[in-house]
Amino acid sequence: MSDVTALPGSRAGKGSRPLRPHAVLAILLSCQLLIILDVTVMNVVLPRIRADLDFTATGLPWVLDAYTLTFGGLLLVSGRAGDLFGRRRMFVAGVVLFTAASLAGGLAQSAAWLLAARVVQGAGAAMAGPNALALLHTVFTEPKARVRALALYSGMASVGFAVGLILGGVLAQWLGWRAVLFINVPLGVPAIVLAGRYLPVTPRREARLDLPGALTATGGVAALVFGFIRSATHGWGDVASGLALLAGAALIVVFLLLERRAAQPLLPPVLFADRNRAVAYTNVFVGYMASMSMFFFLSLYLQDVRGMGPLSTGLAFLPTAVLMFAMIRLVPRLLRRFGPKAVTMTGCVLLVAGLVLLTRLTPGTGYFPLVFAASVLIGCGTGLGLMPLSVIIMANVPSGVAGAAGGALQTIQQTGVTLGLAILTTLLGSSVRGHADAPKEALNSGITAAFAAAAVMAALALLGTFAFRSAKAAQSG
């Protein structure tokens, strides 16, 4: 990317080393992949963790949820804190926390120990994620180069969900569940060292963090995520779930009221002033509700209905991962040529088709051709329908609020994924209950019902694409 220029006033690392965009891109992409991997990589090793650390049936889901809850709750605050106090500082601190917590989690000797490590992992990921996105925005200032860098970053975010299942299956089969956490250490330590050397030091703003906004945003998002997570296992009639959702909604309303008066808001209104960016934020929420369900429910089908092992289950997602990665190279060109409306609309049509195809699963369905065809459609659909949204949101955002924009993007994405899984898991549970005489058939029926609901969510994202401006994306240059 020889056409990349650095933001005036920025410098790389200590001293006066020249900025090296390729090194910056490699560091940020590898860290993004690490962060996203840990959202899904633990799915296939949960049975082994339960046996080794004596988790209870109700405690085991918190191996996933402790990370998700902390990650989602702190994203918005961490992104804005990077704008105010230094993006490199927040990013490096986040990677340090994430790596140290990964080592501690791999050494865990009890359930409580592992859960505490997962909480710290989530906090570190929340500090690093939005500031990595903001640093990309800072370093890549030439429009075409910025679109390519953001497309790569968005691709890593999407591919990471699939790669997490593949990597989890491989490590679980060969090395055991602790390797899933230990693998972050030899990847995280070099990233920390190289970040100090190559990442730019951006000018700090003389400002104060909006503390009331930070408290209400963090509390509101955390309460909503907790309510969604609990609803997935206890049903929507659960009192604690309802109270958490009400409290979360109330705190978000208070947060929005506070932001209207704040001199330096945590969520600047300028983020939603552009029509395409506002539509993209909406589609991030709805689209990821639908798309990410495929990884969870198809993994459940392959292992619990079809009886496949963790390694073969992980490898089943290889076509999806490969196609998502292939889309990374195409998305910038397609956005320049056709604009966001045509590209995302095509992707959403493919995503709906793939999810509808998965509603045809039966206990005897083989991987070929149905599951393979659905994986191909969903890989292409996610690549075209959802990956461009990060580019649309970040490409033209004002530099001073890039961290806030990245934090909002990842918060909306994470909340959408969590809500989607809560809704679909509830549908699954209602189908399975009362059919103990035929457990596989009941589970298959619940999974196909979940895919039908996910197809409806994807159809809503398709409707959202009609709101994009027809003109070519301004950020494509």
Q: How far apart are CA 150 and CA 160, in angstroms?
A: 15
Domain identity same for 277 and 258? no
Residue 37 lies in a domain: yes
Single residue among 193, 228, 263 that ends a domain in this structure: 263
Identify whether residues 316 and 437 lie together within a single domain: yes
Assess whether 258 and 268 both reside in one domain: no
Q: For residues 272 and 278, what is the distance between their CA atoms, to the nearest angstrom?
A: 5
Contacts of 126 (CB under 8 A, 6+ apart): 70, 71, 72, 73, 74, 75, 77, 78, 94
337 plus 411 within the same structural domain: yes
Mind listing the pLDDT tens digit for each residue in 259-270? 888 888 888 989
Assess whether 249 and 380 both reside in one domain.
no
What is the tally of structural domains in the chain? 2
Q: For 11, phi and psi rounded to 5 degrees?
A: -145, 160
Asked whether residue 357 falls in the same domain as residue 408, the answer is yes
Within a domain: residue 14? Answer: no
**Across-strand partners of 378?**
none
Average of per-residue pLDDT values in the chain: 87
Query: End of a domain among 238, 263, 288?
Result: 263
319, 450 Cβ separation under 8 angstroms: no
Tell me, yes or no, whether 220 and 101 share the same domain: no
Give the DSSP letter string of 311-362. HHHHHHTHHHHHHHHHHHHHHHHHHHHHHHHHHHHHHHHHHHHHHHHHTT--
In a domain, residue 10? The reply is no
Residue range(s) defining the domain that contains residue 368: 19-201+264-472
| Nearest Cα to Cα of residue 152 among 1, 277, 346 | 1
State how far the Cα of 335 lies from the Cα of 357, in Å rounded to an integer. 28
How buried is residue 98: exposed, middle or buried, by Cβ count under 10 Å (0-12/13-18/19+)? buried
Place 5 in a pLDDT band, splitting at 50, 70 and 90: very low
User: Are 422 and 178 contacting, i.e. CB atoms less than 8 angstroms apart?
Assistant: no
* pLDDT of residue 96 exceeding 90: yes
The residues near 57 (Cβ < 8 Å, ≥ 6 apart) are none
Q: Which pLDDT score is estimated for 436?
A: 61
Supply the DSSP symbol for 471.
S
Q: In this predicted structure, what is the pLDDT of residue 9?
A: 40
Q: Are 259 and 269 members of one domain?
A: no
Who contacts 246 (Cβ-Cβ below 8 Å, separation ≥6)?
Answer: none
> Looking at the predicted structure, is the pLDDT value of residue 78 above 70?
yes
Q: Mark whether 240 and 116 lie in a shared domain.
A: no
Whether residue 194 lies inside any domain: the answer is yes
Cis peptide before 439 (omega within 30 of 0): no
Task: Tally Cβ neighbours within 10 Å of residue 234.
Answer: 15
- What separation in angstroms does the CA of 465 have from each of 168, 342, 395, 454? 34, 8, 18, 17
Asked if residue 269 and residue 253 are part of one domain, the reply reads no
Is 3 part of a structural domain of the chain?
A: no
Same domain for 60 and 195: yes
Identify the domain boundary among 224, 241, 263: 263
Task: Let me know if residue 27 belongs to a domain.
Answer: yes
- For the chain, how are helix, strand and coil distributed in percent, rounded to 5? 80, 0, 20
CATH, residue 379? 1.20.1250.20
b/e string for 435-469 if b means 16 or more Cβ within 10 A? eeeeeeebbbbbbbbbbebbbebbbbbbebbeebe
Residue 326 lies in a domain: yes
Per mean pLDDT, which of 124-133, 157-166, 295-304 is the most reliable?
124-133
Same domain for 153 and 281, yes or no, is yes
- Distances from the Cα of 253 to the Cαs of 136, 219, 227, 316, 422, in angstroms? 31, 12, 16, 42, 22
Average of pLDDT values for 108-122? 96
Predicted pLDDT of residue 325: 84
Q: Is residue 268 part of a domain?
A: yes
Q: What is the pLDDT of residues 421-477, one digit of tens each?
A: 878 888 887 777 666 667 788 899 999 999 999 999 999 999 999 999 875 444 443
The model's pLDDT over 141-185, given as tens digits with 9 standing for 90+, comes to: 898 899 889 988 888 877 887 888 788 888 878 888 999 999 999
> What tokens were used for 115?
């859960």
